[in-house]
Amino acid sequence: MKAASLFRARFGGEPDGVWLAPGRANLMGEHTDYNDGFVLPFALGQGVTAAAAGQTGRRLTLCSRQEPGDVVEVGLDGLAPGLVTGWAAYPAGVAWALEAAGHRVPGACLAIDSDLPAGAGLSSSAALECATALALTSLGGLDVPRAELVTIARRAENEFAGVPTGIMDQSASLLCRAGHALLLDCRSLETSQVPFDPAVAGAGLLLINTRARHELADGEYGRRRAECEEAARRLGIPSLRDLTNLADTDSLTDPVLRRRARHVFSDNQRVLEVVALLRDPGRPDTYREIGRLLTQAHVSLRDDFEVSWPEADAAVEAALAGGAAGARMIGGGFGGSVLALVPAASDQGSGPVRDAVTGAFARRGWTAPEFLDAIPADSARQVSG
């Protein structure tokens, strides 16, 4: 366990425990979370690990294998947004949000490691927040329900780190279950576990890291949020979740706002359609239909929401040509990963899809993509100690 060995090397002694929080992929529902809509993420086998132990004094001492600079010291008294920048803002923000919610955070040393590719749009920052949240609450003997930890981790990201995301990623990291996707109603925050085991149906999930780095803080994400809010305002509804049929978007005279609203409406519908398909496992065409919806969602994200990027479009096209049942960009956009639904290993496996995508990137002179098999995994948990 690399986080534990980093802990020993940097701090000496043994950690009191090691906590793992997974990254996520999203099966359906992109840019719907901050519109009060539906999302359907699942947790990945890869994630962020925190090896941690309590220390005397009101401070956190942080180090990360991925950030080989100095150890970062964060005082817990007087902690406020803006005081900590860079990667340490995420764990510090969790401490701040826990205290703001009335939980007294213990002094602690944390050594962080991650096996999520950075900048791949697989929620490494939410995983860092959630691993920290579990470590600090366990060390402090704080009994905080998972649903509350979700909102605490999100506050860390939104208010402390200043990244205006929705609630999907923290929910996925803290609430998903192996073999399931998590249906989350982002308005009521009601959740339900939807059985999702593609291998049973002779299918597999392949993540394609396009190596175009994804950053949420660069303004485009915030602009999309603002456009959605403006569209809802002009439609006279509280949020785009309240659209009840596509024709209602026609009353938006601004073509950009009309496209944004159309995406949110159609992606919410697609979440519900995928859930209905997964809950009806008797159908012979479940995964072919899900594949079709994935590709349809990509077209919507590319043309209506305009958050795709050239490497994602090329990866989707090549994956389909290589035999994928469907594929789409996932996450915020402008870089990151594509999720493809591929034949299961017992059949042809993902080989032909990988070859097609690798070839398409090579022909364009792009950095070779990275592939990860995605298997719906469990949410954050203590893994030792």
- Measured N-to-C along each axis, helices 168-175 and 124-139 cross at an angle, to the nearest 10 degrees, of 50
Distance in Å, CB of 329 to ligand GLA, minimum: 10
Query: What gap in Å lies between CA 51 and CA 294, rounded to an integer?
Result: 37
Query: What gap in Å lies between CA 32 and CA 241, rounded to an integer?
Result: 8
Q: Exposure string (b/e) for 23-41, b if CB count within 10 Å is 16 or more?
A: bbbbbbbbbbbbbbbbbbb
Judged by CB, which is closer to ligand GLA: 15, or 332? 332
Distance in Å, CB of 332 to ligand GLA, minimum: 3
Distance in Å, CB of 123 to ligand GLA, minimum: 6
Between vectors from CA 131 to CA 125 and to CA 135, what angle results, nearest 5°?
A: 145
Judged by CB, which is closer to ligand GLA: 213, or 288? 213
Query: Which residues, at least 6 apart from 343, have a Cβ–Cβ distance to it below 8 Å?
Result: 202, 203, 204, 323, 325, 349, 350
Which residues lie near ligand GLA (CB under 6 A)? 30-31, 33-34, 165-166, 168-169, 331-332
Judged by CB, which is closer to ligand GLA: 117, or 332? 332
CB 112 within 8 A of CB 62: yes
Query: What gap in Å lies between CA 317 and CA 172, rounded to an integer?
Result: 28
Distance in Å, CB of 129 to ligand GLA, minimum: 11
Distance between start and end Cα atoms, the chain: 12
Residue whose tokens read 């920048």: 85
Judged by CB, which is closer to ligand GLA: 186, or 356? 186
CB 7 within 8 A of CB 111: yes
* Strand stretches in 82-198, DSSP E: 108-114, 180-185, 191-195
Query: Maximum CA pair distance of the chain?
Result: 65
Tokens for 179?
């073999």
Distance in Å, CB of 294 to ligand GLA, minimum: 14
Catalytic residue numbers? 169
Tokens for 304?
């209506």
Distance in Å, CB of 331 to ligand GLA, minimum: 4
- Strand order of the β-sheet with 108-114 is 67-75, 59-64, 108-114, 41-54, 17-26, 381-384
Judged by CB, which is closer to ligand GLA: 168, or 207? 168
Judged by CB, which is closer to ligand GLA: 33, or 304? 33
